[in-house]
Amino acid sequence: MLSRYLLLGNKDTSDQQWNVRDILATWWRPNFDPSRYPYIPAHITQPKEYIRLFLVQLPEKAMFLVPLNFKLVAAPLFELFDNSEGYGPLISSLPQVLSRFKFICFPPP
C-alpha cells in the first residue's frame, strides 16, 4: 500500500526503487485533540486516527522535492533523542523506535 502511494505522484514509475522494509511505529489519536499515543487507551473503542511510521530504503541516488513552504532538515539521531520541544513527540521517538535494528555503516568509497 505504501509503495503504491509513493508512486502516485510520478507518471514514470519504471525507475523508482522504493523499498518499504518495516512498520516502525503506530501512533493513535483517540479523539480530535492534538495528543497522540503509541497505544490505544483502554477507554477508547474506536480511535479517530492512526499514524504509521515506515522504514523505507532509498536508492543510492535519489531526489527529494520539497514544497517551498516546507523545510527539509537532515538531523542526526542523537539530536532527535529526547528533543520533543524541537521536533515533536513523533520525530523525537525515532531513536527509541530504531533501536531494534542493527545498522551496519560502510565508509564512503
List pLDDT tens digits, range 64-79.
788 999 988 888 989 9
What are the grid coordinates assigned to 13, written together? 514509475
Decide if 94 contacts 63 (C-beta within 8 A): no
In 83-96, which positions are buried (b, 16+ CB within 10 angstroms) versus exposed (e)? eeeebeeeebbbbe
What are the residue ranges in the chain where pLDDT is below 70?
A: 1-16
Decide if 18 contacts 56 (C-beta within 8 A): yes
For domain 2-98, which CATH number applies: 1.10.10.60, 3.40.50.2000, 3.90.79.10, 2.40.50.140?
Answer: 3.90.79.10
Q: What is the pTM of this model?
A: 0.70
